[in-house]
Structure 1
């Protein structure tokens, strides 16, 4: 082989062609480090012409900073030659003719010849691979950093349920596991924790193990566990697309403690509320007993004809009776407020006509208004005003409370006006507007708090200071709200807003319109006559039922305002059917049904439940109680008529 730019007979033409077409750069160097051969890929990779490399020291292809030590490395290799494949050793760099550097990988293959050791070097540029490896390492480092930054214990298991990755929080959570945890299966980790007593168990270890592994196989929701260190843990296992599992553990000890504290506080508050209600009920009874004597004997003194009172004595008795009545109202209000706060006020929401309740409230308040010299007026009700969804009795109570305040705090010769209009967001607003003394601005903030009377606590006007509190609570229980505007010396406006029930109103109007009712055999005056008892406390519902049954000439309707009277009437009159409201004052419709079933003379009478509660659970409860049917308000005339026909004119079908 010559060094004059040619490559002659020692290299066979066939081998030369093979070297030239190799995909990697190939360089042959003698034992002195001189380049004897390069192929075309070497020229391409390093940017030199072949003639510029042949006969040069191989260090020409190495960055200058590595050249001083390279001769020693080369001499050591020649002294102890051995094959070094690509990828062995440290990262290497090559130097391009223009001075730039490149990442390379070198394979060395020594060959002994008569002239000494010849080294064949195969050189490959690995810049792209280095970039890919660097990017992969960066992504891996970021993943590890992200996992480590997760505050909650976090672990990743592979498809064979072996731990692949976890953060330090996970290691701290499983300090019971000896040695490295990565590579161990979940089952092995769990069993070691179970054996070392990590878990506080409320069941046998075998049952807990079966439950934990069942959740592991089919992870749905979360699993709650407790440790012997009094920690509460919430575990979530989730499958990955590759068949692995991601496990996350939350330490919810503080949350569990707060829940326990809230539960205990709630129980304590409920117990206190129950005790308060019991105390108030007991006190109400204890106070009413002497009040009964005070008011009773006071009235007897007023009416005593044998020994009539003189004017002075009569004035004294009047004051006693007035004070007694005031005390009785106070007792009633306090007890009512206690029931509301304890949630013991039964409500029967139904479509209610605003105009009808306004007339009732005005009729009840007219005597009070006459005595106070205040004109009580109902402003014209808009024709398009819908019904409201409310408990009729409690709705009337709210209006009478507002109205009585307008009268008490009004001025003689003044006015109090009931106004109504369609409000915002599907609500109806009913207001009471007066031109009385008004409320000072500094007293308005506490107006709806118990025993707050806007500065009139020690004034001449009687009041308990509870009425507005009760009014607000009742309105909110019916899904409504209350509010007011007031200017001292000019008057006040108090209002209540309740949900509108346009559709319900239409249904009720339709039900009470005889033109919409189909013909019924019970309309025919010829034939047997039947009696029906209707137990209901709501006057408008009674009026509706009387109008409905009034069209059925063969049916006689009699009514009872409560369950106690209804039971006695049923025993005395033995009606063919009983229509029973559920939410009755005192004894409920369910209690009344049980009583009717206890007496032989009423046991077989079918009882139909009528209620505004239309939930499935309400119907199911009525069926289980033994009602023959459960009909919801507003009552559909044809449905009720069909049920009455089936009961009165044929053999009664089975209840359902």
Structure 2
């Protein structure tokens, strides 16, 4: 019976779809299967007796030895390196991305650790490619959004440029006439500087939306992000005869996010609210943005309108790609926004307000122990 059990174990061990490596208490390899040979490029007789750290990239070897000692002191079934990427070192010195599970066993020959090893190189490559595609789609969506706002942006730029031109002419005439008052001329020049800053701010916001850069997570105050977005949207709101009301809670904790992407989410939601109120003529069109904390662990932003609301049969599909009610819309704005919020470990959903109109809710995890300004 003992020989049969031993033979059965070896057959199961050898047939395992994962690489299996048994490590003795001293850190040397005692047993491997064919998948381990395949992943690491060694022959079996080369692996047996080899220190397990040989299969670890040099930059991780010291900390791996310490990890192995800690595991020996608390030998519980666990996924090694949970929450971080792990790498192995092949015989040819190349590296391979891995997932590793550990289990301690006791035998008549002493304690051993069984490592189940999976090559996840292709999975990580596919994940990275999918992430790149999501970033590309988000950028294209921003370009489309800016296109929708172009009339308002041109108007927003035209105002300070016209003021600069007018004030510059006044200054030129005053200087040419020789009868200018120094204080009055100084005031005119200050107006020119202020208007140039206003134009520069519009260009800065526009450039940030169109820039195709790497996603950069940093601590952000959502109230500040909202203020930036609203400043971009004011001209479009005036053009559409929409009022933007702000109800921003003070001293919100920060969230970790990419500023441009979160601005994009809010732009999409505000534009969506504008579109929802096109047919509203008998009352003032209002978009309300509210912020608040949820359970001291999350920050919530609500974007509400006073339009007709969302039909119940559409609530479940509005975040799907290519779902749109606009005659010329692509149906990607809400889908991209949903993807961005999910990538930020948050939630985005929609509903109808009790008093009428639609409301979109964005909830993001707060950074713990961040002082609110």
- TM-score, length of structure 2 as denominator length: 0.48
Higher relative contact order (CA 8 A, sep 6+): 2
